[in-house]
């Protein structure tokens, strides 16, 4: 079982819709969760981080964490064509510095 | 400006040749990482270092070597033992903290080095 799993996609949504990206993880000791956005040929940039159960909102982005079910999700409201990118989920186990990434989900926002 | 600098941006290597990728940060971060990314794939951890003069193997360390003689620098050498080195290499750093403190520490990435074997 992979430590961090994501559906590779592509996930296609129309402009203005809500995009829902999901990530599951295997280590119950995981405490920090990150969503990165990566445009083709570029390095990842942080979108959101979350470490408490529940929702965390920042502008059009909402991260959701459910530790009991071991999943974390990212919702993008009012999706724009500029949101088209690969979204990487990353997990860090508390007390350790190893950050493990999922393979990413490619999002396509159709104008 | 604080950040992470990787060089070169593009690198070409001949078969059987060792090459070293540079990674320098001025963020005063203790932890540094090297990842490899293949087309359409996620990031796979090669090596990471939590402190100067210490480093740990990641998931795909075979054929690679690193050193951490200075806090600011974490060079990666791709040796001739790495059979399929063509990839996009990303260096990252983050604050190294004790357990249970400020868990929301993100990793900052350099701009990457694209290595091609010719």
Using an 8 Å Cβ cutoff, are B50 and A97 in contact?
A: yes
Q: Which residue among A45, A51, A104 sits closest to B104, beta carbon to beta carbon?
A: A51
Number of C-beta neighbours around residue B86 at 10 A: 15
Residues B14, B16, B18: CA angle, nearest 5 degrees: 80
Q: Do A94 and B40 touch (CB under 8 A)?
A: no
Q: Six-digit token pair at B22?
A: 């540079």
Q: Do A99 and B56 touch (CB under 8 A)?
A: no
Q: Which residues pair with B76 in a beta bridge?
A: B21, B66
Using an 8 Å Cβ cutoff, are A105 and A7 in contact?
A: yes
Least CA distance to A38: which residue of chain B?
Answer: B42
Q: How far is B66 from chain A (nearest CA, A)?
A: 16
A58-66 contact pairs (CB < 8 A, 24+):
A61/A35, A63/A33, A63/A35, A65/A33
Per-residue pLDDT tens listing for chain A (111 residues): 678 999 988 999 999 999 999 999 998 888 889 999 999 889 999 898 898 899 999 999 999 999 999 999 999 999 999 999 999 999 887 656 677 889 999 999 999
Q: Which of B23-32, B43-52, B76-85, B91-100 has the lowest mean pLDDT?
A: B91-100
Condensed to tens digits (0 to 9), the pLDDT of residues A37-60 reads 999 889 999 898 898 899 999 999
Residues of A in contact with B44 (CB under 8 A): 101
């Amino acid at each position: 079982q992979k430590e961090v799993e994501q559906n590779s996609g592509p996930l296609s949504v129309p402009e203005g819709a809500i995009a829902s990206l999901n990530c599951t993880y295997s280590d119950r000791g995981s405490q920090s969760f990150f969503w990165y956005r990566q445009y083709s040929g570029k390095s990842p940039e942080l979108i959101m981080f979350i470490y408490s159960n529940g929702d965390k909102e920042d502008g059009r982005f909402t991260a959701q964490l459910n530790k009991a079910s071991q999943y974390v999700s990212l919702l993008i409201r009012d999706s724009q064509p500029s949101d088209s990118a690969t979204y990487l989920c990353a997990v860090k186990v508390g007390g350790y510095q190893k950050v493990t990434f999922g393979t990413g989900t490619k999002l396509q926002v159709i104008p | 400006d604080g950040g992470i600098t990787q060089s070169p941006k593009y690198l070409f290597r001949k078969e059987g040749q060792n090459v070293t990728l540079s990674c320098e940060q001025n963020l005063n971060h203790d932890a540094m990482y090297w990842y490899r990314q293949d087309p359409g794939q996620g990031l796979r951890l090669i090596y990471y270092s939590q402190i100067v003069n210490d480093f740990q193997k990641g998931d795909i360390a075979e054929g690679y070597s690193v050193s951490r003689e200075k806090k600011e620098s974490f060079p990666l050498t791709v040796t001739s033992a790495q059979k399929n080195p063509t990839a996009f290499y990303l260096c990252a750093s983050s604050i190294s903290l004790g357990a249970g403190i400020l868990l929301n520490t993100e990793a900052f990435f350099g701009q990457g080095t694209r290595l091609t074997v010719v």
